[in-house]
Amino acid sequence: MSKVRILVGTRKGAFVLTSDGKREKWDVSGPHFAGWEIYHLKGSPADPDRVYASQSSGWFGQQIQRSKDGGVTWEPVGNKFVYDGVPGTHQWYDGTPHPWEFKRVWHLEPSLSDPDKVYAGVEDAALFESADGGQNWQELSGLRGHGTGPHWSPGAGGMCLHTIVIDPSNPQRMYIAISAAGAFRTDDAGKSWRPINHGLHSQHIPDPDAEVGHCVHRIAMHHSRPGTLFMQKHWDVMRSDNAGDSWREVSGNLPTDFGFVIDVHAHEPETVYVVPIKSDSEHFPLDGKLSVYRSRSGGNEWEALTKGLPQKDCYVNVLRDAMAVDSLDKCGVYFGTTGGQVYASADSGDSWAPIVHDLPAVLSVEVQTLS
Amino acid sequence: MIRVILPAHLRTLGRAGSEVTLEVKEATIGGLLDALEESYPTLKGAVRDHVTLQRRPFVRYFACEQDLSHEPPDFPLPGQVISGSEPFLIVGAIAGGCF
């Protein structure tokens, strides 16, 4: 019997939600690390009981926690994130040079094949790698050092590396995204990087078509088509069919193309989900109606999915790491809100129900499909 | 033995009680923190920076009703802390909250 485990990071701790394959009744475990901000948790595809969590606090800094039993028990591992060499500077909000300073880990991405290997995307933006289960961390400094780093600048949420996508067909290839620098790709396992932002158009930077400076919010990929990427940018939903070499807009008939999350159906590589948010100054759904939008055509043509979602007086946000899918048939889709709800759909988005109502603000949602 | 009182989050993180006792080689603030991190390695980086060893901004050090937060690492511990009659307190600062 299949089982689904949802790993939820919140402002005040982590929660683990589990259900059988019917996805009707859920057990809720937590809070783990009560009182700490849990930006992200993610399980190893190679060993689902190996789970990593990013735990941070304004008082006591960054911790990394590791579980060997699917999030039942945890042990702290290494938390020393030191930039390689002289950190250098990036642009500050006022355009002046500002030294790189480590603040927190936004995203943890375990290797697809090795439970002990895991990547960490951090603020100020950099990519770190651990080959020993999170005990020791080394920066993949070719990213910051490739040349455009001094021109990166923080978005409103800080200058964070928040998205790490590993190509399942090519272990040398990986994509990352930084707010507000853009998307980058390596083809040599992280040694060297190049910006992949051709086709992005951002009005908030002096040159809207610049090589870097774009506020990419999230990138999603279907494992069967690793060359096709979907992006939710600050504004605009984008698509690339050549591994990010160029992008085209697929916002189509979305009522607003601002948003944070984007994900792809587990079995249909042209079925894409977004949650439109009103604007960059009003981070809540249009007209107080929470809606997921689904495209079955890889973008441009979108349908609103509202059954079971609040359709009045709803003013939550859905943050960039807070949507995920399971791989059951039918595909389950899940997302969490800043209002503390985690919504689940066991029918590919046709209908929704809350699993929990009143968690702290949800920062991240990841799903594991267990056999 | 020197007594150190930890805030709740560091007790959980270090799997320690509210008060821990330490053998301190050098009776200074820095020496006390060295001993704390040696006994409770998971607290490395949580009280002071790994590399610079600077106190984290929202951590405070109190002892004998004095705020020692801004004293340098080589600042001598008060005699009452060295004798164990008074604890050294590591405190999460009242720093407001937005959540």
- DSSP labels for B85-96? SSPEEEEE----
Q: Compute the distance between CA of residue A266 and CA of residue A269 in angstroms, rounded to an integer.
A: 7
pLDDT of residue B98: 59
Task: List CB contacts (< 8 A) between B8 and chain A.
Answer: 35
A60 contacts B92? CB cut-off 8 A: yes
- Whether residue A99 is contained in a domain is answered as yes
Q: Compute the distance between CA of residue B57 and CA of residue B40 in angstroms, rounded to an integer.
A: 21
Place of tokens 């929704």: A352
Q: Compute the distance between CA of residue A140 and CA of residue A145 in angstroms, rounded to an integer.
A: 9
Residue B95 banded pLDDT, cuts 50, 70, 90: confident
- Residues shown for chain A: 371
Q: Name the residue facing A76 among B13, B50, B59 (closest C-beta).
A: B13
- Whether residue A156 is contained in a domain is answered as yes
pLDDT of residue B23: 96
pLDDT of B55-85, one tens digit each?
A: 999 999 999 999 999 999 999 999 999 999 9
SS3 A260: strand
Chain B interface, best mutation among A59, A63, A77, by max B CB count within 10 A: A59
What is the SS3 string spanning A125-161? CEEEEECCCCCCCEECCCCHHHCCHHHCCCECCECEE
Question: Which helix (H) or strand (E) segment is A350 a member of?
Answer: none
Exposure letters A34-63 (e unless 16+ CB within 10 A, then b): eebbbbbbbbbbeebbbbbbbbbbbbbbbb
User: Which CATH number is A100's domain given?
Assistant: 2.130.10.10
Strands of A22-168 (E only): list them: 27-32, 37-43, 51-57, 61-67, 75-76, 89-91, 97-99, 104-110, 118-123, 126-130, 138-139, 160-166
Domain count for chain B: 1
- Whether residue B99 is contained in a domain is answered as no
Q: Are A123 and A159 in contact (CB under 8 A)?
A: yes
Q: Compute the distance between CA of residue A195 and CA of residue A176 in angstroms, rounded to an integer.
A: 10
CA angle A28, A326, A357 (to 5 degrees): 35
- pLDDT mean by block of 10 residues, chain A; 371 residues: 95 98 96 97 98 96 98 97 92 90 97 98 98 98 91 88 98 95 97 97 92 96 98 98 98 98 98 97 97 98 98 98 97 98 98 97 98 88
Contacts of A159 (CB under 8 A, 6+ apart): A90, A123, A124, A125, A152, A153, A178, A179, A180, A181
- Whether residue A364 is contained in a domain is answered as no
* A131 dihedral zone (left: phi>0; alpha: psi -120 to 50; beta): alpha
Q: Name the residue facing B45 among A11, A58, A80 (closest C-beta).
A: A80
Q: Compute the distance between CA of residue A120 and CA of residue A101 in angstroms, rounded to an integer.
A: 15
- Whether residue A1 is contained in a domain is answered as no
Q: Which residue of A has its CA nearest to B13?
A: A76
Task: List CB contacts (< 8 A) between B50 and chain A.
Answer: 79-80, 82
- Whether residue B25 is contained in a domain is answered as yes
- Distance in Å, alpha carbon of B92 to nearest chain A alpha carbon: 6
pLDDT of residue A93: 85
Six token digits for residue A312: 């009045």
pLDDT of residue A86: 86
- DSSP labels for B14-82? HT--SEEEE--SS-BHHHHHHHHHHH-GGGTTTSB-TTT-PBPTTEEEEETTEE-TTS-TTPBPPHHHH
pLDDT of residue B96: 61
Domain count for chain A: 1
Q: Among A327, A341, A332, A326, which residue's Cα sits nearest to residue A15?
A: A341
B45 contacts A62? CB cut-off 8 A: yes
Q: Name the residue facing B9 among A59, A76, A360 (closest C-beta).
A: A59
- Whether residue A354 is contained in a domain is answered as no
- Distance in Å, alpha carbon of A80 to nearest chain B alpha carbon: 7
Q: What are A118's strand-pairing partners? A: A110, A130
Domain of residue B61 covers 2-92
A59 contacts B58? CB cut-off 8 A: yes
User: Which CATH number is B48's domain given?
Assistant: 3.10.20.30
pLDDT of B10-61, one tens digit each?
A: 999 999 998 999 999 999 999 999 999 999 999 999 999 999 999 999 999 9
Q: Name the residue facing B9 among A60, A79, A82 (closest C-beta).
A: A60
pLDDT of residue A363: 98
Q: Compute the distance between CA of residue B85 and CA of residue B62 in angstroms, rounded to an integer.
A: 14
Residue B99 reports pLDDT greater than 60: no
Q: Compute the distance between CA of residue A258 and CA of residue B77 in angstroms, rounded to an integer.
A: 55
Task: List CB contacts (< 8 A) between A35 and chain B.
Answer: 8-9
Whether A60 has its CB under 8 Å from any CB of chain B: the answer is yes
- Whether residue A175 is contained in a domain is answered as yes
B50 contacts A11? CB cut-off 8 A: no
Q: Name the residue facing A63 among B13, B92, B93 (closest C-beta).
A: B13
- Whether residue B53 is contained in a domain is answered as yes
What does the longest C-alpha to C-alpha distance in chain B come to?
41
Amino acid occupying residue A256? T
Q: Compute the distance between CA of residue B99 and CA of residue B91 in angstroms, rounded to an integer.
A: 20
- Whether residue A346 is contained in a domain is answered as no
Domain of residue A170 covers 39-284+316-336
Contacts of A7 (CB under 8 A, 6+ apart): A14, A16, A41, A42, A43, A51, A53, A71, A364, A365, A366, A367, A368
DSSP letter at A227? Answer: T
Distance from the first to the final alpha carbon of chain B: 39
Q: Which residue of A has its CA nearest to B95?
A: A59
Scan residues 349-368 of A and list those with Cβ closer than 8 Å to B: 360-361
Q: Residue A88, class by beta-carbon neighbours within 10 Å (0-12 exposed, 13-18 middle, 19+ buried)? A: middle
- Whether residue A270 is contained in a domain is answered as yes
Number of cross-chain residue pairs from A and B with Cβ atoms under 8 Å apart: 46
Q: Among B31, B11, B16, which residue's Cα sits nearest to residue B91?
A: B11
Chain A interface, best mutation among B10, B33, B37, B50, by max A CB count within 10 A: B50
Q: Name the residue facing A61 among B45, B95, B99 (closest C-beta).
A: B45
Q: Are A271 and A294 in contact (CB under 8 A)?
A: yes
- Distance in Å, alpha carbon of A181 to nearest chain B alpha carbon: 27
